[in-house]
Amino acid sequence: MRAGRFITVEGIEGVGKSTNLRFVKEYLEQQDLDVVMTREPGGTTLGESLRSLLLDPHHKDMAVDTELLLMFAARAEHIAALIRPALTRGSYVVCDRFTDATYAYQGAGRGVPEERITLLEDWVQGGLRPDLTLLLDLPVTVGRERVAGRLGSADRFEQEEADFFQRVRDCYLARAAHEPGRFRIIDATRPLPEVQSQLAEVLAAWLEEQS
């Protein structure tokens, strides 16, 4: 059986990842593909518990290395329990964030040296890398406005200042420029139907390349 494909969706907060992940899943299912939708940190029972710790504002002063290692602990579990088995079965795995988020948030955002993240990436993932990364992009102010009306208190990341998210956005764009074969940049400032037309166009072309 042909191995599946690994698609990740990335971007700063409020770009519309959650909203558009469902669209990507439905689009692929319409092409008769088996799709597993998941997220990071999370995706497994243990991973979701680690997610709660990572987002909990009570752990506001968590050491940067603790945050980094918890992200990769959740990822190790996610790969072993969900991602690899699904890819081996031939499924398409669509994941809300993956290791590009670690380079963007812990690397550019928190200042962890890139080589340290690469070391963990190689150790935890072996050769596993996304086949396609959809980067939803918009200015930080627009993303923040979109999530501002959300009910409930801000999580540990949402409490960061605009310059943190600017570094995160810049890192995503730099990574996309460095790996144009894997990344597709989607203009997320457009109204939702237009964002989804862009996604459909990109996915159709990419699936064509795969066949």
Which residues of this chain interact with ligand Z5A, rule CB under 6 A? 11, 13-19, 40-41, 71, 96-97, 101-102, 105-106, 146-147, 157-158, 188, 191-192, 195
Q: Of 51 and 84, which has the nearer Cβ to ligand Z5A?
A: 51
Q: Of 90 and 126, which has the nearer Cβ to ligand Z5A?
A: 126
Give the Cβ contact number of residue 163 at 10 Å. Answer: 10
| Rounded Cα gap, residues 43 and 37, in angstroms | 9
CB of 208 to ligand Z5A, least distance (A): 25
> Can you give the C-alpha Rg of the chain in angstroms?
17
Q: Of 2 and 60, which has the nearer Cβ to ligand Z5A?
A: 60
Q: Of 87 and 124, which has the nearer Cβ to ligand Z5A?
A: 124
DSSP-assigned letters across all residues of the chain: ----EEEEEE-STTSSHHHHHHHHHHHHHHTT--EEEEESS-SSHHHHHHHHHHH-GGGTT--HHHHHHHHHHHHHHHIIIIIHHHHHHTPEEEEE--HHHIIIIIIIIT---HHHHHHHHHHHHTT---SEEEEEE--HHHHHHHHHT-SS---TTTTS-HHHHHHHHHHHHHHHHH-TTTEEEEETTS-HHHHHHHHHHHHHHHHHHH-
Residues in the chain: 211
CB of 207 to ligand Z5A, least distance (A): 23
Q: Of 90 and 122, which has the nearer Cβ to ligand Z5A?
A: 122
Q: Of 86 and 124, which has the nearer Cβ to ligand Z5A?
A: 124
CB of 99 to ligand Z5A, least distance (A): 6
CB of 192 to ligand Z5A, least distance (A): 4
CB of 209 to ligand Z5A, least distance (A): 26
